[in-house]
Amino acid sequence: MGAIYRVRQFAQAAATRVRPAAVDEDLLRQILPPRAVALFLAMPGYDRQHAMAVFRALRAAGHDEPDLLAAALLHDVGKSGSGLARIRIWHRVATVLLQALWPGALERIGRDVPGSWRRPFFVQQNHASLGAELAREACCSPGAVALIRRHEETYHVGDDALLAALQAADSLH
């Protein structure tokens, strides 16, 4: 996804730090298994707000597929629910800037070094697969897990329509 999209996401996240999103837990329980509801609720306010915005965009577009809606709610859970590293706002900003200006440096920085200052960059870059594993462990369906795992992949014409819908909604918010 492009740098402008990521800057817009950052601005929304910064606003959420001041005004956390309200969450309808009854709605969550209709879409997610109980352990996945707990994962969602453990995410920072800005990640929950972003997930709810993606969810609402999909619903507004007429999507009601359970796997897609569950993936919308948990697609970024790997950033905050992994327990591997605490990703702070500055890590996200640095990641966006490095992706745009110096992708090679981000690859070198984002190595999996437990306990290192590098770990948050690894988690940020690998949040899709980390989040998919968390969703699987929280009893989400295989379809939702697959969408979470693939949501950062480059879309190709003819790919899964649900993946395309998730990516389109994610890029709007």
Confidence band for 114, pLDDT divided at 50, 70 and 90: confident
Amino acid letter for position 83? G
Q: Residue 127, exposed/middle/buried by CB under 10 A (0-12, 13-18, 19+)?
A: buried
Distance (Å, whole) CA 57 – CA 87 = 26
* Residue 18: per-residue pLDDT: 41
Range of lowest pLDDT (39-43, 67-71, 79-83, 146-150): 79-83
Tokens 């007429």 -> residue: 62
Q: 10-61, pLDDT tens digit by residue?
A: 555 555 444 455 678 999 999 999 999 999 999 989 899 999 999 999 999 9
How many Cβ atoms from other residues are within 10 Å of residue 17's Cβ? 11
pTM beyond 0.75: yes
114 phi and psi angles, rounded to 5 deg: -55, 135
Q: 9-21, pLDDT tens digit by residue?
A: 555 555 544 445 5
Distance (Å, whole) CA 29 – CA 15 = 27
**Are the beta carbons of 27 and 48 closer than 8 angstroms?**
no
